[in-house]
Chains A and B, each alone.
Chain A
């Protein structure tokens, strides 16, 4: 399903970018990073608009708004679709699907939501490691394996 997932810290620095592509080379990695990095524009815009709408509505409504961390489809290009998810601590999760492959183009919103929730759980597990420094890149091999399988599972 997914060709790439990324975890981005609250200061917008990348914590983890993982991808499965047909070719693995610098170019592929570069385009993947561009894709995720530019997705931050849409993410930030989405967060900014939720914030302003929150201030307008009552506090209760704001809380329910915040509860849904899944932001849905951020934008789509000719080749990819990019989904976003933001945790309460402003960690941003991005999932990229390929619109050219049949499995990627027909993906349902609910599947993406589930996958991102799962990714959130995996992330939470990974940073529970006492040797992990919050704000650093995630280098855990186990995490990498789990994320890769998360991406594959849904293919």
Chain B
């Protein structure tokens, strides 16, 4: 409640507090007895919500219970004097406990048991006597040490407890034992729950009592009692924590109250009580989680009482009352949200605070219309003095029920007193307080614009209460938002109020800024009197007091003038205004003419200024601020060399700023930071209007391309269509060197390929500090070129890339010549970049750096291609070789190079499982061979397999070719290596040597010797047969068996005799392995290979 403003409509605390069952604790000496103190603390401290809804009150010996009123037997002649007695609730919540608990220290085995029991009983008796007349329950708690008694005395406890009950005349269930040693808190909570049960029982009993009265009442005279009794029932049920029953009774009370006859004299009472009951109803509905019903209850409540205005002299009371209904509901709602009720954007406490504020505004209006006469408090006796017994009754006529005022004079004085009090009441503070509650709620519930509106209302309220500084602060923040969303009408409203505030509080900075913004074409000012505002700006510049704003409160005028008088010729002399954040009468667009400037170019910036307010504006000085990475420079803007500029209303003026770039800025960005115009009247004061240009600030329009839709007059340089260009980049000066490239492309893979280049100085001056940097450029078909390509200025010596070379001076029109070498293993186009940088002195800029990149592309091809054939010793192609069986490798070198090549030497580096068939490395057969494009050079090397490896070899070996271009004569050669493909190796247990001749003469016998050599450690038995043909006769064994001894040989001798001439099939030996079969195939292959398929037989000529 502390946040809410208070006045007489505020709810008394007993209505607001949540009712808790009251339990009195007697017999605890918390001051002297430490145990009692801990017991009391355990009861009273740390009451978390999950504990029982009870309130403990420590009763000391002097506590007095309220006197019981004599019971009324009949209501026949009873006239109630009011609806709700003010003291009833406080009595229930703090004076009459539902239960008094008497604590008494006593052990069951106390030696002085008899004395103790008597003392305890007497205490109980005294409490009984004190509560005489009330139905308050009594219970006894025996405080014990908690040490368990010996088993022999177990029965004793039960007996003595029984005895104690009878001595104290209490029921056994009202007697409790509290051991205080261990687990005190647990016992306390159990006790608390037991007490709570008894208390509920008590309140239930009380409600029954009240219900009994109902039969005695009649509707004519006891209408108030219907309300009162139902209210009491509701409250007792609330104490009992039976919320729904409580709600039912409060509802009855509310409805009964509605039926009550209402006259001017009791309107205040009815209204007040209705407000209380409604508050209770809504609070219960929120507690029962029926938020919708609570809202509906409030709505119908307001609806019902909206038109019960009461006496018109006290109209403000009605509005005050409604405002309070709303604000109290807002608090209930807020509290409910705090404990978990979800609020939504369209239904949250903010709306109720807003209503409260609105009705407080109405209250003030009512006050203004009815309280004009109440200039002073009525003379004594004070009609406001006096104690009122009932809620909402008037102190000057307490307990009066009749409709007519019994003392018109007193009544008059009282109304005057009320009116006077209202007059001096600070409504603004109350409205501001309600609004600030509402604002925080609207902020929570995602309503930024609603919040803004309320802030503006709040600022208005500050304005009315003459707190112009606060109003101005609030308004300037809100102005920002409305301007941003382009709600110019609202922005104008806010701005005009802010301008009034700034004027009254004589704040020069704010005043000037707001005035400048007020001249914007978007802003509407009262009476459309922009001329006055413009004059005011000029006045402030001239250190004159400006004319007052219209509609400012007369009371503030004098003070404002006084403040202006003091402030006008003092600081601040220089008023900086950020024009880019406000709407104003000046629009500025700046643009570089080019996206890029070279170092030796003159940079030019165009500045367009449009004055939208129709006047002539004289600007003393104007500057353009441009910045680079390193520095910020200010360039004066001049109008044809004139530093003071005259702007004409409603037209655009163009200025051109030219400057040279700094040599340090090469390669950096240049951006326009600020354009500022200074208004100065040669007095001390200046206004500096800054148009700041941020890098990341987006264009004011959403679609810059739409700018071209605007039809802007040509005379205004088509101002609206200009898209500002506020950054430009500075690049180096154009290079006037040329590079000539001379080389014999294509380059051959693996060679050191020379390229001659010539740099020619076409500048008009000598260039110095020339440096060239050579590097390889990656391209899509040749990525990472530096990994496979070498660059160098020396043939055969790779140098780290990129190559750098300082050349020094090159005179005008002279050249520089050099050669670089490139060696690559990749057959793709290599791209070489030659970056030339140098310094040159020009007339106005010394040491100007220029850089230029040249690139040259060098295609690389293979010089030749190597393929391999395998043939037997008699040059028959084979696809398989046998261990220790020599064969010939024939590499074929196909020349692809367009240039003639000299093959210096070749060699075959065999892999492990092969060796040369000869003992020493044979001489290459194609050494010193000169070849041209499309030639094929064939080499032949005889090798044999050493053993059969596990896997068939993938290659026979590396074939190395030493070569160079025929044209190269400086002794450099290239070594190219090619892997030759592999051949399958097999093992055969025998080797065969047959001396078959290639050619024989007809009719001439030829002796043949066939040698079988055993390669293994075991003898091999073969069955041999000779396959004869018709073309030959032969002699020797035709079919026989033979054993080839291990590591030894046998010889078979035959004679063959050709019978026909021409190509003939000679007789061949076929072999079958006897015994083991696994090597049959190999031996058969061996025999097939060794014996020729045909022999040419030469015919014989008869001479």
Q: Which residues of A contact B (CB under 8 A)?
A: 10-14, 17, 29-30, 33-34, 37-38, 40-42, 45, 75, 131, 133-135
Do the beta carbons of B485 and A41 come within 8 Å of each other?
Answer: no
Do the beta carbons of A133 and B450 come within 8 Å of each other?
Answer: no
Given contacts A134-B706, A135-B702, contact A38 B486 (CB under 8 A): no
Q: Is B447 an interface residue (CB 8 A)?
A: yes
Given contacts A37-B449, A45-B345, contact A13 B490 (CB under 8 A): no
Return chain B residues, CB-CB under 8 Å to A131: 711
Do the beta carbons of A29 and B450 come within 8 Å of each other?
Answer: no
Give the shortest distance, in Å, between A77 (CB) and chain B (any CB). 9
CB proximity to A under 8 Å, residues B425-457:
446-450, 453
Give Cα A29 to B493, complex, Å.
11
Contact of A38 among B447, B493, B711 (CB under 8 A): B447
Do the beta carbons of A135 and B345 come within 8 Å of each other?
Answer: no
With CB as the reference atom, state the residue of chain A lying closest to B709.
A133
List 14 A-B pairs, Cβ < 8 Å.
Answer: A11-B485, A14-B486, A30-B493, A37-B449, A37-B453, A40-B449, A41-B446, A41-B447, A42-B345, A45-B447, A75-B346, A133-B706, A135-B703, A135-B706
Contact of A134 among B453, B703, B711 (CB under 8 A): B703
Do the beta carbons of B345 and A133 come within 8 Å of each other?
Answer: no
Q: Is B88 an interface residue (CB 8 A)?
A: no
Interface readout for B470-504 with A: 1 if CB under 8 Å, 0 if not? 00000000000000011101100100000000000
Do the beta carbons of A37 and B487 come within 8 Å of each other?
Answer: yes
Considering only CB atoms and an 8 Å cut-off, how many residues of chain B contact the other chain? 21
Do the beta carbons of A33 and B490 come within 8 Å of each other?
Answer: yes
Give Cα A34 to B456, complex, Å.
11
Return chain B residues, CB-CB under 8 Å to A29: 489
Q: Is B710 an interface residue (CB 8 A)?
A: yes
Give Cα A40 to B450, complex, Å.
9
Return chain B residues, CB-CB under 8 Å to A75: 346
Give Cα A14 to B486, complex, Å.
7
Given contacts A11-B702, A134-B706, contact A42 B487 (CB under 8 A): no
Q: Is B701 an interface residue (CB 8 A)?
A: yes
Return chain A residues, CB-CB under 8 Å to B703: 134-135
Give the shortest distance, in Å, between B960 (CB) and chain A (any CB). 66
Return chain A residues, CB-CB under 8 Å to B486: 11, 13-14
Give the shortest distance, in Å, between B410 (CB) and chain A (any CB). 39
Do the beta carbons of B448 and A33 come within 8 Å of each other?
Answer: no
Known: A11-B702, A14-B486, A41-B448. 11 other contacts (CB 8 A): A13-B485, A14-B487, A17-B489, A30-B493, A34-B490, A41-B345, A41-B446, A42-B346, A133-B706, A134-B706, A135-B703
Do the beta carbons of B449 and A41 come within 8 Å of each other?
Answer: yes
With CB as the reference atom, state the residue of chain A lying closest to B442.
A41
Give Cα A61 to B885, complex, Å.
82
Do the beta carbons of A12 and B702 come within 8 Å of each other?
Answer: no
Do the beta carbons of B709 and A30 come within 8 Å of each other?
Answer: no
Do the beta carbons of B487 and A33 come within 8 Å of each other?
Answer: yes
Interface readout for B703-726 with A: 1 if CB under 8 Å, 0 if not? 100100111000000000000000
Residue with the highest number of chain B CB atoms closer than 10 Å, among A17, A34, A42, A45? A34
Q: Which 7 A-B pairs have the closest CB atoms?
A: A13-B486, A41-B447, A38-B450, A75-B346, A41-B449, A12-B485, A38-B449
Return chain B residues, CB-CB under 8 Å to A42: 345-346, 447
Give the shortest distance, in Å, between B1073 (CB) and chain A (any CB). 78
Give the shortest distance, in Å, between B448 (CB) and chain A (any CB). 6
Interface readout for B682-715 with A: 1 if CB under 8 Å, 0 if not? 0000000000000000000111001001110000
Return chain A residues, CB-CB under 8 Å to B450: 38, 41
Return chain B residues, CB-CB under 8 Å to A134: 703, 706, 709
Give Cα A110 to B448, complex, Å.
30
Give Cα A151 to B240, complex, Å.
58
Give the shortest distance, in Å, between B325 (CB) and chain A (any CB). 14
Give Cα A11 to B345, complex, Å.
21
Interface readout for B977-1001 with A: 1 if CB under 8 Å, 0 if not? 0000000000000000000000000
Give the shortest distance, in Å, between B330 (CB) and chain A (any CB). 16
Give Cα A131 to B493, complex, Å.
30
Do the beta carbons of A13 and B487 come within 8 Å of each other?
Answer: yes
Give the shortest distance, in Å, between A19 (CB) and chain B (any CB). 12
Give the shortest distance, in Å, between B460 (CB) and chain A (any CB). 12
Give Cα A30 to B450, complex, Å.
14
Give the shortest distance, in Å, between B133 (CB) and chain A (any CB). 52
Return chain A residues, CB-CB under 8 Å to B711: 131
Return chain A residues, CB-CB under 8 Å to B489: 14, 17, 29-30, 33
Give Cα A98 to B701, complex, Å.
35
Give Cα A75 to B489, complex, Å.
23
Return chain B residues, CB-CB under 8 Å to A13: 485-487
With CB as the reference atom, state the residue of chain A lying closest to B299.
A78
Return chain B residues, CB-CB under 8 Å to A10: 702
Return chain B residues, CB-CB under 8 Å to A40: 449
Return chain B residues, CB-CB under 8 Å to A12: 485
Give Cα A101 to B345, complex, Å.
26
Contact of A34 among B345, B453, B706, B710 (CB under 8 A): B453
Give Cα A13 to B448, complex, Å.
15
Residue with the highest number of chain B CB atoms closer than 10 Å, among A29, A37, A40, A135? A37
With CB as the reference atom, state the residue of chain B lying closest to A77.
B351
Give the shortest distance, in Å, between A61 (CB) and chain B (any CB). 23
Give the shortest distance, in Å, between A121 (CB) and chain B (any CB). 22
Give the shortest distance, in Å, between A146 (CB) and chain B (any CB). 22
Give the shortest distance, in Å, between B1056 (CB) and chain A (any CB). 92
Give Cα A134 to B702, complex, Å.
10
Give Cα A45 to B709, complex, Å.
33
Return chain A residues, CB-CB under 8 Å to B490: 30, 33-34, 37
With CB as the reference atom, state the residue of chain B lying closest to A132.
B709
Give the shortest distance, in Å, between B536 (CB) and chain A (any CB). 22
Interface readout for B327-361 with A: 1 if CB under 8 Å, 0 if not? 00000000000000000011000000000000000
Give Cα A70 to B1033, complex, Å.
115
Return chain A residues, CB-CB under 8 Å to B345: 41-42, 45
